[in-house]
């Protein structure tokens, strides 16, 4: 008759054997889906199954038996651990690749707000997502992006030029009462173009509205031109009536 301890040990051995076989299958299909491999590697890592399989450490197991680099395997384990700790459904991460999930680990662990970031991750490249996460952790408000694609502009300049530009940005941020460098730069450029007596024709109406909302802290709605004309006429009639009464 088996004792409870012997029975439990037998179950662990059976489970570790099952997991080992499933990992081999999942590793071969990682280009199609990483979720299964992440879950199985997490279980193997947490329970030390790889030691039962005769490997000295997790790194040796990953790189020797399943051909997955240790660094990538540890990222997959970290993703599975985060998903477990934050009670995220695996179905919710469908369409979000493992490199994007890796980029989200720091911010999700810090904020614990999952849904919005998963949706953001589906809209951006890995590189742009990493920048958004970095900006958010640095205290910048990324909500003003409104889901637009992020564009990176790089300039090479002398230290003297950088001092002038940084001073102009600091001034613009102080006037606009913002810490957002992008918003400050946008305002500087927009004011300059208008100062030359030209209209920035390539700027979309939506972009202008978002800029005004971010700058002035208001919510704007686009009105039909006919409605605007009616409103102007009402204001003029009101002004005339007030003038007649005053006279």
Residues 75 and 131 placed together within one structural domain of the fold: yes
Q: Which domain holds residue 188?
A: 159-246
**Residue 219 within any structural domain of the chain:** yes
How many separate domains does the chain show?
Answer: 2
d(CA 245, CA 247): 5
* Claim to verify: residue 69 and residue 10 sit in the same structural domain: yes
Are 184 and 114 contained in the same domain?
no
Out of 112, 141, 170, a domain closes at 141
Q: What is the pTM of this model?
A: 0.54
Q: What is the pLDDT of residue 216?
A: 60
191/108 same-domain check: no
Check whether residue 134 and residue 193 sit in a common domain. no
The answer to the question of residue 150 being in a domain is no
Whether residue 79 is found in the same domain as residue 188:
no
Predicted pLDDT of residue 67: 94
The predicted pLDDT at position 142 comes to: 56
Q: What is the pLDDT of residue 162?
A: 83
Question: Are 113 and 201 members of one domain?
Answer: no
- What is the reported pLDDT for 174? 85
Q: Which two tokens stand for residue 191?
A: 């004011």
Tell whether 137 and 169 lie within a shared domain: no
Residue 151 lies in a domain: no
pLDDT digits (tens, 9 = 90+) for 8-32: 777 888 999 999 999 999 999 887 8
Within the chain, which residues score under 50 in pLDDT? 1-6, 144-148, 242, 245-246
Residue 235 is assigned to a structural domain of this protein: yes
Closest CA to 79 of 109, 110, 123: 109
């Amino acid at each position: 008759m088996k004792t409870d301890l012997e029975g439990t040990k037998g179950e662990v051995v059976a489970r570790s054997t099952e997991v080992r076989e499933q990992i081999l299958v999942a590793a071969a299909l990682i280009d199609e889906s990483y979720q299964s491999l992440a879950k199985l590697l997490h279980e193997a890592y947490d329970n030390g199954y790889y030691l039962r399989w005769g490997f000295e450490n997790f790194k040796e197991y990953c790189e020797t038996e399943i051909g997955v680099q240790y660094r990538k395997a540890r990222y997959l384990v970290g993703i599975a651990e985060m998903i477990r700790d934050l009670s995220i459904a695996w179905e919710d991460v469908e369409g979000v690749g493992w490199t994007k999930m890796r980029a989200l680990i720091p911010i999700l662990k810090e904020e614990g707000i999952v849904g919005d970031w998963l949706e953001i991750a589906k809209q951006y490249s890995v590189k742009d997502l990493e920048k958004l996460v970095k900006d958010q952790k640095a205290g910048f408000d990324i909500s003003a992006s409104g889901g637009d694609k992020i564009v990176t502009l790089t300039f090479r300049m002398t230290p003297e030029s950088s001092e002038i530009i940084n001073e102009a940005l600091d001034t613009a941020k102080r006037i606009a009462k913002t810490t957002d460098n992008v918003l400050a730069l946008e305002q500087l450029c927009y004011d300059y173009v208008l100062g030359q007596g030209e209209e920035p024709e390539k700027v979309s109406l939506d972009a202008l509205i978002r800029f005004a909302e971010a700058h002035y802290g208001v919510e704007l709605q686009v009105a039909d031109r006919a409605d605007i004309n009616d409103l102007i006429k009402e204001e003029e009639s009101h002004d005339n009536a007030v003038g007649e009464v005053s006279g």
